[in-house]
Chain A
Amino acid sequence: MSLLSVKNLSARFGAFTAFDGVDIELAKGSLTGLIGTNGAGKSTLFSAITGYITPSSGEVKFDGHDMLPLSIEKRVEKGLSRTFQVPREFSRLSVFQNLMAAPPNQAGESLAKLFITPGRVRRQEAELAERADSMLQFLNLARVADTPAGSLSGGQKKLLELGRLLMLEPSCIMLDEPFAGVNPVLVEELSQRIVELNQRGITLLIIEHDLASLSRLVPRLYAMDRGRIIAEGKPSEVLADPRVREAYMGGVI
């Protein structure tokens, strides 16, 4: 059954077409990659699916709901989440507090509840702190828990952003270049984590330029070029596709 279904989606900025007639289907619990040369429109496609830009035409359905009329926040509430190509950490908050900020429906976010039920707020904070701690372990960030997120390395920021999303417990995660700037050992480890998440039932769509790591990780790939999906299927098939090879100028893969 399809969890995310994108049909004939197009986005234009004035005369410039960022992407055109894109169709993507993600089955519930699937793990899928999205590749494409620089400027192919991958990140912009993510932005259109998650509500940061308004597409000029087409359809985005998630879990049976029409997503296009919904705000970014409402889409996240439905379980559709994303990371950004350039990490957007809360720079002056500690790594730990970055994670604590994420979970939805915190009692302590309501001014009334802060004063009427402080006990409940404290209990919830303690629960969340435990989850944040194990997330820090999971992502190898425990050592920098109290560091301001702004002073993390580029790769650590990527990990933090992933961790922040996971604190939301979303049903679908779209990752924009999770391996960029992450060292090879950690890429392996991160791939392992992604598989574990997928085994827990989370649907993932991953943009990545590290084609080798990505094709080892995902069973299915989409390839994009100049705003269009040019191939889809098993990684080996997609990477062998002449159009894909041409888009990557022959030599690279």
Chain B
Amino acid sequence: MEFYLIAISISVLIYMLMASGLSLQYGFTGLVNFGYVGFFAIGAYTSGLLSLQGVPLPVSFLAAMLLAGALAYPLGIITLRLGGDYLAIITLGFSETVRILLMKEDWLTRGVHGVPGLPRVFDDWAGVSSGDLTLLLLLLVVNIAVFALIAYLVRSPFGRIIASIRDNEVAVRALGKNPAAFKTRSLMLGSALAGLAGAFQAHYVTFIAPEQFVPLITFYVWIAIIVGGPNRILGIVVGTIILLTFLEGSRFMRDFVGGVSEVQLASVRFFIIGMALICTILYRPNGLFPDKFSKGK
């Protein structure tokens, strides 16, 4: 039970990192990134492959963040001048391209077989059992640091401009500021967080394969921030917990009910997620925890 709690908490905290990055992009800037999992994959593979070459984990984690953030730059440059809708399509295409490259470039990624045997974060000195607990603590600290970072950013002049862009991009241009430059930075920051989450995931599960990075993951993160409320830190926290509780809970449900196949279960899951989204949008359009100015709208 204790192991299980630690394991699920680690998953929650990895998802929470992703939710933070996506909420920076969507909740605070209004960017619709449907390819978020692509940056998660880049982070996982970057850190995973580097660590197998003997690169120390702190360095490989940093590289994962930097590469994921850097890859957002060209996407931003290409699409953010064109306006919102293009970003959604192009990012979705990006994440699928990443996944297909991971499948096809065997020489680097071992293709569909995936890469096993990645080093775990703290096992060298903490041992397997307390390693997970230490990882959990590290993730907790990282998440809190990220929240502090986001809180500082959104209250800063930078945060004011990205919020202005979300509200009325044309008016931002009328003030002589170039929205694309700000949006690109927000996109890069959020993507770097996905990269960091990917690195944590890779070295926690110790195995990475392209099938782990399907678009469904992107939509899980979207659901977390939409249900919780995309521009409140409390929304990020609660939304992620609800999501993971549901994902784990539905697994239990199968053990409980019995005779349900994995495929059937997946369909039920989709159904419930769809219903939850529809209900949220109908009854709590700004999430469970809307920011103070979105209330009542």
Contacts and interface: CB of A to CB of B under 8 A. Distances in A.
Interface of A: 50, 52, 71-74, 76-77, 81-84, 88-94, 97-98, 100-102, 104, 106-111, 114, 121, 125, 148, 150, 164-165, 168
A88 B179 CA distance: 15
Contacts of A150: 167, 293
A91 B169 CA distance: 12
B65 to A, nearest CB: 14
Given A92-B291, A92-B293, A110 B158 contact: yes
6 contacts: A72-B176, A76-B176, A84-B171, A100-B160, A101-B175, A107-B157
Contacts of B291: 92
B218 to A, nearest CB: 25
Contacts of A111: 153, 158, 185, 189
Given A77-B176, A148-B293, A168-B176, A90 B158 contact: no
B173 to A, nearest CB: 5
Nearest to B180: A73
B171 A89 contact: yes
B173 A73 contact: yes
Interface string B167-194: 1101111111110001001000100000
A102 B173 CA distance: 10
A63 to B, nearest CB: 15
Given A76-B176, A168-B176, A108 B157 contact: yes
A111 B170 CA distance: 22
Nearest to B178: A73
Contacts, number: 94
Contacts of B189: 111
A50 to B, nearest CB: 8
Interface residues of B, number: 27
A65 to B, nearest CB: 15
B163 interface: yes
A165 B176 CA distance: 10
B174 A72 contact: yes
A121 B167 CA distance: 24
Given A90-B164, A91-B168, A93-B160, A114 B152 contact: yes
Contact of B163 (A72, A92, A107): A92
Contacts of A90: 163-164, 167-168, 171
Given A108-B156, A108-B158, A168 B175 contact: yes
A100 B177 CA distance: 13
B49 to A, nearest CB: 29
Nearest to A167: B175
Contacts of B264: none
A83 B171 CA distance: 9
Given A88-B170, A101-B157, A104-B176, 19 more contacts: A50-B174, A72-B173, A73-B178, A76-B173, A76-B174, A76-B176, A77-B176, A88-B168, A90-B163, A92-B167, A97-B160, A98-B164, A104-B175, A107-B157, A111-B153, A111-B158, A111-B185, A114-B156, A168-B176
Contacts of B170: 52, 84, 88
Contacts of A106: 157
A98 B164 CA distance: 8
B97 to A, nearest CB: 28
Contact of B294 (A72, A92, A101, A102): A92
A51 B152 CA distance: 34
Nearest to B168: A88
B161 interface: yes
Nearest to B149: A115
